[in-house]
């Protein structure tokens, strides 16, 4: 793994070589990651994994034609070949009126923000093994747990460097620590499984291994003896660990490429209300120790807090430079970048703000409803917003969570679901997309 300074130097030399070879503009991105993981099952070490990878990608422009090529071999001879090939490819590529680097005047020129993404703590394999064993022991100690699919602990470090021919040079690195467990409760045909996990940038922010294991065990036991649910229309309450997927669908619908392809269910909704007026969706790439924090985007533009939805109103698309040009707008600092292609678009640390009800109040007036803790399948149409997914969870009866339910399907339309969303005030920042407990009334349930 190259140091960040060496990575920037390597990317700079590649860009310079592309310019000398005839490119009108170019950029290069270097990325690498190294990770270690230990897994155990039934108290016995099952696997120890360690991996490291790095690659560099070069994008070259000749007029309105462009091509991208990448390699995991960073030897000088290979990189020289990379330059020759990308120039030849660019000359044969079709013209694209929207292709090009990010606007030069918008590049990050100030000192990049310090986001505390790197942890000096690097646990060895023995420490990871002990954490995994502690997690699984806690899960297996839960009354009713009969078997284990395993538990594990991991540590990783990743870094990237970006250089453009019009003056941007930058890089950053980040670490990750994680613990997880998956266990089985019950016997025979009545067995049920569930899991728990947690990931953070810094080890001292990670939940205790025993607490993660206890969550996995109690979740599996709670799912025992599920019943089917009669078909009908009723309120559905989403646990935060699955409710985030609703916001994920919205983020996909407001990405520039979806809008330019006209494949978004929110295509005509910019400036319109898409959520209840008390709710907002915030994207914060500068959150210290955030799982998706970054000081600049995949094109070298500065990042900053964005209210994607403010007081219920959709305020912006998420745009890279190409989709911004196509829409006659400015890029929003949401470009993402891998080594193997042109920039994409993605949000960072997202949360749903504005929930003002206690979680128990979402349940209080529900005569018959569904509390969803797991979603299955991908039955979502991104063009129309039609939504149909398998689900399991718990029956709600007269305001209280009752018995487990499974083998059901919940259906609706995302535009209606989002517009009538009811949010609790129990927001916690644990994932890349964070939401409180959510309720959607009038969903169609397909069961017995």
Tens-digit pLDDT profile for residues 91-116: 999 999 999 999 999 999 999 999 99
Determine the average pLDDT of the residues in 112-133. 96
Specify the pLDDT at position 47.
Answer: 96
Tens-digit pLDDT profile for residues 248-302: 999 999 999 999 999 999 999 999 999 999 999 999 999 999 999 999 999 999 9
pLDDT band at 77 (very low <50, low <70, confident <90, very high): confident
Report how far apart, in Å, the C-alpha atoms of 275 and of each of 142, 193, 270, 294 are: 40, 34, 12, 27
Q: Which of 7, 61, 62 is nearest to 30 (CA)?
A: 7
Q: Which residues contact 291 (CB under 8 A, 6 or more apart)?
A: 176, 199, 200, 201, 349, 431, 432
**Pairwise CA distance, residues 82 & 70, whole Å:** 7
Report how far apart, in Å, the C-alpha atoms of 38 and of each of 115, 141, 150, 178, 424 are: 28, 21, 10, 11, 37
Q: Which residues contact 6 (CB under 8 A, 6 or more apart)?
A: none
Is residue 263 within 8 Å of residue 256, measured between CB atoms? no
Q: Which of 339, 17, 340, 5 is nearest to 171 (CA)?
A: 5
- The first and second tokens of residue 266, run together, are 């929110």
Mean pLDDT of the chain: 96
**Three-state SS annotation for 325-356:** HHHCCCCCCCEECCCCCCCEECCCCEEEECCC
- The first and second tokens of residue 285, run together, are 């790439």
Bridge-based pairing of strands 344-345 and 335-336 is antiparallel
Radius of gyration of the chain (CA): 24
Is residue 347 within 8 Å of residue 284, measured between CB atoms? no
340 has pLDDT over 80: no
**Three-state SS annotation for 256-272:** HHHHHCCCCCCCCCCCC
Q: Which of 439, 440, 437, 377 is nearest to 412 (CA)?
A: 440
Specify the pLDDT at position 342.
Answer: 86
pLDDT band at 189 (very low <50, low <70, confident <90, very high): confident
151 has pLDDT over 90: yes
**Pairwise CA distance, residues 305 & 46, whole Å:** 43
**Residue % of the chain over a pLDDT of 90:** 94
The edge-to-edge listing of strands for the beta sheet with 145-164 is 65-71, 44-62, 25-41, 145-164, 169-185, 192-200
Q: Which domains does the chain have, with CATH numbers?
A: 4-34+50-106 (3.30.2290.10), 226-448 (no CATH)
Is residue 434 within 8 Å of residue 428, measured between CB atoms? yes
Which phi and psi angles does 215 have, rounded to 5°? -65, -45
Q: Which of 396, 389, 395, 398 is nearest to 417 (CA)?
A: 389
Tens-digit pLDDT profile for residues 361-390: 999 999 999 999 999 988 899 999 999 999
Predicted TM-score (pTM) of this structure: 0.94
- The first and second tokens of residue 42, run together, are 């039934």
**Pairwise CA distance, residues 406 & 199, whole Å:** 28
221 vs 80, higher pLDDT: 221
Q: How many CA atoms lie within 13 A of 343 on its CB side?
A: 33
235 has pLDDT over 70: yes
- For 404-433, the DSSP string reads EEEEEEEEEEHHHHHHT-EEBS-----SSE
Tens-digit pLDDT profile for residues 400-444: 999 999 999 999 999 999 999 999 999 999 999 999 999 999 999
**Pairwise CA distance, residues 400 & 88, whole Å:** 66
Name the β-bridge partners of 53: 33
Q: Which of 415, 406, 121 is nearest to 268 (CA)?
A: 415
Determine the average pLDDT of the residues in 35-57. 96
Specify the pLDDT at position 448.
Answer: 79
- The first and second tokens of residue 132, run together, are 């995994």
pLDDT band at 339 (very low <50, low <70, confident <90, very high): low
117 has pLDDT over 80: yes
């Amino acid at each position: 793994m190259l140091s960040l300074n060496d990575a920037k130097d390597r990317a700079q030399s590649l860009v310079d070589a592309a310019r000398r070879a005839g490119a009108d503009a170019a950029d290069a991105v270097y990325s690498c990651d190294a990770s270690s993981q230990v897994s155990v099952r039934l108290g016995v070490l099952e696997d120890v994994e360690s991996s490291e990878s790095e690659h560099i990608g070069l994008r070259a422009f000749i007029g309105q034609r462009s091509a991208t090529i990448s390699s995991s071999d960073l030897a000088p001879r290979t990189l020289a070949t990379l330059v020759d090939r990308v120039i030849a490819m660019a000359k044969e590529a079709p013209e694209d009126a929207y292709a090009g680097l990010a606007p030069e005047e918008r590049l990050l020129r100030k000192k990049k923000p310090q986001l505390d993404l790197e942890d000096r703590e690097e646990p060895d394999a023995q420490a990871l093994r002990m954490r995994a064993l502690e997690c699984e022991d806690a899960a297996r100690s839960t009354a009713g747990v009969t078997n284990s699919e395993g538990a594990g602990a991991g540590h990783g470090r990743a870094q990237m460097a970006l250089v453009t021919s019009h003056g941007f040079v930058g890089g950053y690195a980040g670490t990750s620590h994680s613990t997880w467990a998956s266990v089985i409760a019950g016997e025979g045909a009545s067995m049920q499984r569930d899991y728990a996990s947690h990931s953070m940038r810094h080890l001292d922010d990670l939940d205790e291994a025993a607490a993660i294991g206890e969550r996995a065990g109690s979740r599996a036991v709670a799912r025992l003896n599920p019943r089917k649910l009669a078909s009908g229309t009723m309120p559905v309450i989403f646990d935060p660990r699955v409710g985030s997927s609703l916001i994920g669908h919205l983020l996909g619908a407001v990405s520039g490429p979806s809008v330019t392809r006209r494949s978004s269910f929110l295509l005509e909704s910019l400036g319109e209300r898409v959520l209840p007026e008390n709710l907002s969706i915030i994207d914060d790439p500068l959150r210290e120790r955030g799982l998706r924090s970054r000081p600049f985007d995949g094109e070298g533009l500065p990042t900053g807090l964005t209210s994607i939805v403010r007081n219920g109103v959709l305020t912006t698309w998420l745009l890279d430079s190409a989709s911004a040009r196509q829409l006659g707008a400015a890029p929003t600092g949401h470009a993402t970048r891998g080594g193997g292609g042109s920039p994409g678009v993605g949000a960072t640390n997202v949360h749903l703000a504005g929930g003002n009800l206690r979680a128990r109040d979402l349940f209080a007036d529900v005569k018959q409803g569904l509390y969803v803790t797991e979603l299955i399948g991908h039955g979502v149409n991104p063009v129309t917003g039609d939504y149909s997914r398998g689900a399991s969870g718990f029956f709600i009866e007269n305001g209280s969570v009752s018995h487990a339910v499974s083998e059901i399907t919940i259906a609706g339309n995302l535009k209606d679901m989002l517009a009538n969303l009811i949010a609790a005030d129990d927001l916690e920042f644990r994932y890349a997309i964070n939401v409180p407990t959510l309720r959607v009334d009038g969903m169609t349930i397909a069961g017995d």
